[in-house]
Structure 1
Amino acid sequence: MSHHPLFRIVSRFKREPSRTGSLIITFYGDAILPRGGSVWLGTLLAFLEMLEIDGGVVRTAMSRLAADGWLDREKVGRKSFYKLAPDGQERFASAVAHVYNPQPSEWQGLLELLLISNGGDREVSRAALTEAGFGNPMPGVWVAPSGTAVPSVVAGAIRLEVSADNEMGRRLIGESWLLPRIADSYRDFLKTFAPLEAWIAGADALPPADAMLARILLIHQYRRVLLRDPLLPPVLLPADWPAMEARALCGRIYRALLSASEQWLDQHGASAGGPLPAPGMELARRFSDQ
Structure 2
Amino acid sequence: MSRTPLDQILDHLRGEPSRTWSIIITIYGDAIVPRGGSVWLGTLLAFFKALEISDGVVRTAMSRLASDGWLERAKVGRNSFYRLADKGRETFRAAADHIYHPRPPVWSGHFDMLLLDNGMDREAARAALEAAGFGGPAPGLWIAPAGRPVPAAAAEALRLHAGGDAATNRALAARAWPLAETAAAYARFLAVFTPLRAQLEAGAQLSDLDALVVRVLLIHEYRRIVLRDPILPPDILPEDWPGAAARALCAALYRPLIGPSERWLDANGLAESGDPLPPAREISRRFKD
Whether TM exceeds 0.5 here: the answer is: yes
Contact (CA 8 Å) 1:14, 1:51: kept in 2 or not?
no
User: Residue 153 of structure 2 aligns with which residue?
Assistant: 156
Contact 2:129–2:154 (Cα < 8 Å) also in 1: no
1:60 is displaced (CA, Å) by: 2.1
Counterpart residue identity of residue 206, structure 1:
L
- Equivalent pair of 1:136/1:143 in contact (CA under 8 Å): yes
Q: TM-score, normalised by structure 1?
A: 0.84
State yes or no: 1:277 paired with 2:278. Answer: yes
2:8 is aligned to 8
Aligned match for 1:117, one of 113, 116, 121: 121
Please say if residues 113 and 161 of structure 2, whose CA atoms lie closer than 8 Å, have aligned partners that are also in contact. no
Structure 1 residues 269 and 57, CA, compared in 2 at 3 Å: closer, same or farther? same
Judged with a 3 Å threshold, the aligned counterparts in structure 2 of structure 1 residues 18 and 178 are, in CA distance, closer, same or farther, namely same
State which drifts further: 10-19 or 101-110: 101-110
Mapped contact 1:95–1:131 kept (Cα < 8 A):
no
- Could you say what secondary structure the match of 1:73 adopts? strand
Pairing of 1:24-35 with structure 2 (within 5 A): 24-35=24-35
CA contact (8 A) 2:103 2:231 kept: no
Residues 114 and 43 (structure 1 numbering): CA distance in 2 closer, same or farther, change over 3 Å? Answer: farther
Distance 1:169 1:197, change over 3 A: closer
Change (3 A) 1:68 1:172: farther
SS at match of 1:271: coil
User: Rg: which structure is higher?
Assistant: 2
- How far did residue 201 of structure 1 move? 2.0
TM alignment of 1:1-290, pairs within 5 A: 1-108=1-108, 109-111=110-112, 113=114, 117=121, 126=127, 132-135=132-135, 143-148=143-148, 155-158=152-155, 159=157, 161-165=159-163, 173-203=173-203, 205-273=205-273, 274-280=275-281, 282-289=282-289
Q: Distance in 1 between matches of 2:84 and 2:58?
A: 16
Distance 1:178 1:97, change over 3 A: same
After superposition, the C-alpha distances for 1:73-104 in whole angstroms (9 at most, x for unaligned) are 22222222111222211211222322212234
- Shift of the alpha carbon at 1:107? 3.4
SS at match of 1:156: helix
Which segment is superposed worse, 212-221 or 194-203?
A: 194-203
- CA gap 1:114/1:2 in 2 versus in 1, 3 angstroms: farther
Shift of the 92–165 alpha-carbon distance from structure 1 to 2, 3 Å rule, reads same
The question of whether the paired residues in 2 share the 8 Å contact of 1:114 and 1:157 is answered with no
Q: What TM-score, normalized by structure 2, do the two folds share? A: 0.84
How far apart, in 2, do the equivalents of 1:175 and 1:226 lie?
A: 19
Whether the 8 Å contact between 1:131 and 1:227 is mirrored in structure 2 is no
Q: In the superposition, relative to structure 1, how do residues 145 and 271 fare at CA in structure 2: closer, same or farther (>3 Å)?
A: farther
- Compute the RMSD of aligned alpha carbons: 2.9
Residues 193, 149 of structure 1: alpha-carbon distance in 2 compared, 3 angstrom cutoff: farther
CA 1:171–1:207: 2 relative to 1, 3 Å: closer
| Contact 1:111/1:169, CA 8 A, preserved across alignment | no
Gaps of at least 5 residues in structure 1 are none
After TM superposition, which residue ranges in structure 1, 4 or more long, deviate above 3 angstroms? 111-116, 128-150, 154-162, 166-176
Partner SS, residue 39 of structure 1: strand
- Which deviates further from its counterpart, 171-180 or 41-50? 171-180
Unaligned runs of 5+ in 2: none
Counterpart AA for 2:153: G
Aligned-pair CA distance for 1:279: 0.8
CA distance in 2, matches of 1:63, 1:24: 12
- 1:200-259 residue CA offsets vs partner (Å, 9 max, x unmatched): 122354210110111111111111111221111112111111111111111011011110
Cα distance in 2 for residues equivalent to 1:110 and 1:59: 47
Tell which deviates more after alignment, 235-244 or 137-146: 137-146
For the residue of structure 2 that corresponds to 1:275, the secondary structure is coil
Aligned residues: 281
Offset of residue 39 of structure 1:
1.0
